[in-house]
């Protein structure tokens, strides 16, 4: 099937010849896309009983090429529709509105590098005075990462409560993720439990980019306590950290798609630039800070996101 085949002139096995004769095939034109056979066109004998000449053969070869292009176009269109549906489903898994709690202002943003993403964030109330803050980054991009992200989201929602400590939550999630991921796949994850009455944030960091706590006076603390990434060590244990929060403090959760994005000169955006922007915009609301940070990253990279970029900003009023 590397070229147009005239059945009468081809030395074919008898079984194949009989099959072709049964369907009345006199000429077979392969349909190829990038040298890969994706189908064929079978033609019967001409009504005039004349042989197919060189002009006919050339015309049919052109028809086969156009058919291949058409098939590929339909296939890509079908994939595009599937990806769009997947994107809508994934967006539905992320919080459509961010729950607020008195004394705190919280906002989040999600910028996928492709149609679907491996980044995850969530903010949800556990009680009238407690809120959970989550952010995660699945290794890889595309559909596989998106599926693993949805698995993580479901697992977090299944285990999270105001009575479970962040380190214990990470331990439970890690056991589930480890049993569901293939070799070499992992997730970085941060989970924080905000207690408004106690004015504190208790957290566990499973190998994620350490969130930034910026005090009112500009002092920066990185939230690093935790353990290994999720999905590698099934029996891994986690530590947890605790920070007191005061008026004017800001907490920024982010994925590496924010800090590792590059400009045309191959320069990374970097964490220092992110910390500086957080300090410059501290007087604005969390939603405005998040918007300004993402705008700065977009302008820096000229909109060319090499990886998913996600931000969660919390301001203490």
pLDDT of residue 125 exceeding 90, the answer is yes
pLDDT digits (tens, 9 = 90+) for 210-269: 999 999 999 999 999 999 999 999 999 999 999 999 999 999 999 999 999 999 999 999
Residue 206 · residue 152 · CB < 8 Å = no
Q: How many domains would you assign to the chain?
A: 2
pLDDT digits (tens, 9 = 90+) for 139-198: 876 677 777 888 898 899 999 999 999 999 999 999 999 987 767 789 999 999 999 999
Q: Are strands 130-138 and 200-206 parallel, antiparallel or unpaired?
A: unpaired
Q: What is the DSSP letter of 2?
A: -
pLDDT of residue 10 exceeding 70, the answer is no
Residue 188's pLDDT is what?
Answer: 96
Give the integer Cα–Cα distance in Å for 298 and 309.
10
Tokens 């603390």, located at residue: 221
Q: What are phi and psi of 117, to 5 degrees?
A: -135, 165
pLDDT digits (tens, 9 = 90+) for 303-312: 888 788 899 9
We report the CATH number of the domain holding residue 201 as: 3.60.40.10
Q: Is residue 91 part of a domain?
A: no
Global pTM? 0.74
Q: What is the DSSP letter of 86?
A: H
Residue 6's pLDDT is what?
Answer: 79
Task: Judge if 59 and 112 occupy the same domain.
Answer: no
Residue 77's pLDDT is what?
Answer: 63
CB atoms within 10 A of CB 34: 7
Model confidence band, residue 76 (pLDDT cutoffs 50, 70, 90): low
Across the chain, mean pLDDT equals 87
pLDDT digits (tens, 9 = 90+) for 78-120: 666 666 666 666 666 678 889 999 999 999 988 877 666 678 8
Last residue of one domain, picked from the residues 64, 86, 108? 86
Task: Judge if 111 and 191 occupy the same domain.
Answer: yes
List all residues 6 or more positions away from 3 whose beta carbon is below 8 Å from its beta carbon.
30
Residue 78's pLDDT is what?
Answer: 61
Last residue of one domain, picked from the residues 86, 120, 137? 86
Task: Judge if 306 and 224 occupy the same domain.
Answer: yes
Decide which of 281 and 7 is more confident: 281
Q: What is the DSSP letter of 211?
A: P
pLDDT of residue 317 exceeding 70, the answer is yes
Structural domain range at position 311:
98-316
Q: Is residue 178 part of a domain?
A: yes
Range of weakest confidence among 32-36, 118-122, 129-133: 32-36
Give the integer Cα–Cα distance in Å for 88 and 270.
31
pLDDT digits (tens, 9 = 90+) for 38-58: 888 888 888 887 888 888 888
């Amino acid at each position: 099937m590397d070229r147009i085949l005239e059945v009468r002139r081809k030395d074919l096995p008898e079984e194949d010849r009989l099959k072709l004769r049964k369907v009345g095939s006199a000429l077979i034109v392969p349909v190829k896309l990038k040298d890969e056979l994706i189908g064929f066109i079978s033609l019967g004998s001409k009504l005039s009983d004349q042989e197919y000449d060189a002009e006919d053969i050339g015309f049919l070869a052109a028809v086969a090429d156009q058919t291949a292009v058409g098939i590929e176009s339909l296939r890509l269109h079908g994939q595009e529709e599937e990806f769009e549906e997947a994107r809508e489903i994934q967006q539905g898994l992320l919080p459509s509105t961010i729950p607020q709690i008195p004394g705190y202002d919280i906002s989040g943003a999600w910028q996928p590098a492709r149609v679907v993403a491996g980044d995850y964030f969530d903010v949800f109330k556990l009680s009238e005075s407690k809120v959970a803050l989550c952010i995660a980054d699945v290794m890889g991009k595309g559909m596989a990462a998106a599926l693993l992200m949805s698995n993580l989201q479901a697992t977090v929602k299944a285990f999270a409560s105001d009575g479970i400590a962040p380190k214990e939550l990470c331990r439970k999630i890690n056991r589930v993720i480890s049993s569901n991921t293939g070799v070499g796949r992992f997730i970085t994850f941060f989970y924080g439990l905000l207690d408004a009455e106690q004015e504190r944030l208790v957290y566990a960091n499973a190998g994620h980019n350490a969130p930034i706590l910026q005090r009112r006076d500009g002092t920066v603390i990185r939230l690093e306590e935790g353990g290994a990434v999720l999905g590698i060590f099934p029996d891994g244990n986690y530590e947890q950290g605790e920070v007191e929060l005061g008026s004017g403090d800001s907490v920024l959760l982010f994925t590496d798609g924010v800090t590792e994005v590059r400009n045309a000169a191959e320069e990374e955006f970097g964490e220092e630039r992110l910390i500086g922007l957080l300090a410059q915009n501290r007087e604005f609301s969390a939603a405005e800070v998040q918007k300004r940070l993402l705008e700065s990253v977009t302008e820096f990279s000229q909109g060319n996101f090499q990886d998913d970029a996600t931000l969660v900003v919390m301001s203490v009023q």
